[in-house]
């Protein structure tokens, strides 16, 4: 399934945040791929959270990242989509987030609006929100506590002690028909990389999405995270991560899991130590019905945070080309 193959392969990615951006940035260079990025719509942190609270719009941040990742337009518009204001009343806001929010306000159809912007950016694929319902996440923890909002999970030390027992969307979210159609016709579905509870599983909390995902005949691959998140997935191994994923999406759902086999540099680990630790592979449980694809997936550069950004970003990231290559190789694996 390399760059020289002529057969069109329909690939669906499921996620949100920086992880999906990195994967799409690598996949778009394979011209035989017909790519659809299905994006979580539960983000409520940073610039996105402020726009949601103030203007009642859908969360634009993850959609904007996917649009930028797939864009072949490399001029001023693409650069503007990533521009972040450093001062004034817009300080901390991303121009792309503001643009999507304005378009939502003046467009009668959200999906058509995204397709129109995709045409201007000359996208190598399509970006589809998993739902266009305006929802918030509700986390029910194992110790009985409840958290409301994606951003609250990142801030709370409570999740570390109780674990996440259940995830809901409030109010009930209606599945975007475009997302369901893409999954039904996919040849390959890739889940992740990204935060388990705040980027990946919110997609499956949308009514009907898990059933559509499981019913499809596509090869299903998950990408394991590079690092654990303090307070959310402390000490979780790759096998633990996948067991938790399949607890929500159904046992036996995955065909293969792509895992990083390289060790981050010591200076990066020191910078990141307050946020979490590298994810170890762990001991394979008997019920794991998928294969592991090990490869060096680490990026070689450190991403510098942009001035004015509301959020603290992960320093240790996947390399787009390495990740895309490993995912496509893993798609050949059989159970």
Question: Above 80 in pLDDT, residue 23?
Answer: yes
Give residue 147's pLDDT band: very low, low, confident or very high (50, 70, 90).
confident
Q: What is the dihedral of CA 10, 291, 203, 121, to 10 degrees?
A: -40
Counting residues of the chain whose pLDDT is more than 90, the rounded percentage is 60
For 243-297, how does the pLDDT look when each residue is reduced to its tens digit (9 = 90+)?
999 999 999 999 999 999 987 777 766 766 666 778 899 999 999 999 999 999 9
Fold of the 9-330 domain:
Rossmann fold (3.40.50)
pLDDT at 124: 94
Which of 81-95, 113-127, 288-302, 305-319 has the lowest average pLDDT?
A: 305-319
Nearest of 68, 11, 8, 30 to residue 191 by alpha carbon = 11
H or E element at residue 222: strand 219-223
Which of 11-25, 90-104, 123-137, 313-327 has the lowest average pLDDT?
A: 313-327
Give residue 76's pLDDT band: very low, low, confident or very high (50, 70, 90).
confident
| Distance separating alpha carbons of residues 113 and 10, to the nearest angstrom | 23
pLDDT at 302: 53
- Section 314-331 average pLDDT: 89
Q: What is the phi/psi pair of residue 152, to 5°?
A: -65, -35
Counting residues of the chain whose pLDDT is more than 70, the rounded percentage is 87
Higher pLDDT among residues 305 and 291, named by residue:
291
**Token representation of residue 53:** 């609270």
pLDDT at 31: 92
pLDDT at 21: 95
| Distance separating alpha carbons of residues 40 and 201, to the nearest angstrom | 9
Q: Where are the alpha helices (DSSP H) in the chain?
A: 17-27, 46-55, 61-70, 76-81, 95-106, 110-121, 150-155, 158-162, 177-184, 201-204, 209-215, 238-249, 266-272, 320-330
| Distance separating alpha carbons of residues 184 and 201, to the nearest angstrom | 19
Higher pLDDT among residues 315 and 254, named by residue:
254
Domain ranges, ordered by start, for the chain: 9-330
Give residue 91's pLDDT band: very low, low, confident or very high (50, 70, 90).
confident
Higher pLDDT among residues 141 and 160, named by residue:
141
């Amino acid at each position: 399934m390399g760059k020289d193959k002529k057969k069109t392969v329909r690939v669906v990615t499921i996620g949100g945040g920086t992880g999906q951006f990195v994967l799409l940035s690598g996949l778009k260079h394979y011209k035989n791929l017909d790519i659809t990025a299905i994006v979580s719509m539960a983000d409520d942190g940073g610039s996105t959270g402020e726009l949601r609270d103030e203007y009642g719009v859908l969360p634009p941040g993850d959609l904007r990242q996917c649009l930028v990742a797939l864009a072949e337009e490399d001029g001023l518009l693409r650069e503007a989509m990533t521009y972040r204001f450093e001062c004034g009343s817009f300080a901390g806001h991303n121009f792309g987030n503001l643009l999507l929010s304005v378009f939502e306000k003046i467009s009668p159809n959200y999906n058509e609006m995204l397709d129109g912007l995709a045409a201007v950016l000359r996208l190598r694929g399509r970006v589809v929100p998993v739902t266009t319902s305006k929802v918030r996440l509700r986390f029910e923890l194992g110790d009985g506590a409840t958290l409301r909002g994606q951003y609250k999970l990142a801030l709370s030390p409570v999740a570390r002690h109780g674990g996440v027992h259940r995830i809901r969307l409030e109010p009930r979210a209606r599945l975007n028909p475009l997302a369901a159609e893409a999954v039904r016709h996919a040849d390959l579905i890739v889940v992740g990389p990204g935060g388990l509870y705040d980027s990946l599983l919110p997609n499956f909390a949308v009514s009907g999405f898990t059933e559509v995902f499981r019913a499809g005949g596509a090869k299903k691959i998950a990408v394991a995270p590079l690092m654990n998140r303090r307070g959310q997935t402390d000490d979780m191994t790759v096998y633990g991560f996948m067991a938790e994923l399949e607890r929500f999406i159904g046992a036996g759902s995955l065909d293969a899991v792509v895992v990083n086999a390289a060790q981050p540099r010591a200076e990066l680990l020191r910078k990141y130590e307050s946020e979490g630790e590298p994810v170890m592979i762990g001991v394979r449980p008997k019920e794991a019905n998928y294969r592991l694809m090990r490869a060096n997936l680490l990026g070689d550069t450190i991403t510098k945070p942009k001035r004015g950004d509301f959020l603290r970003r992960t320093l240790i990231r996947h390399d787009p080309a390495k990740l895309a290559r490993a995912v496509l190789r893993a798609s050949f694996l059989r159970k």
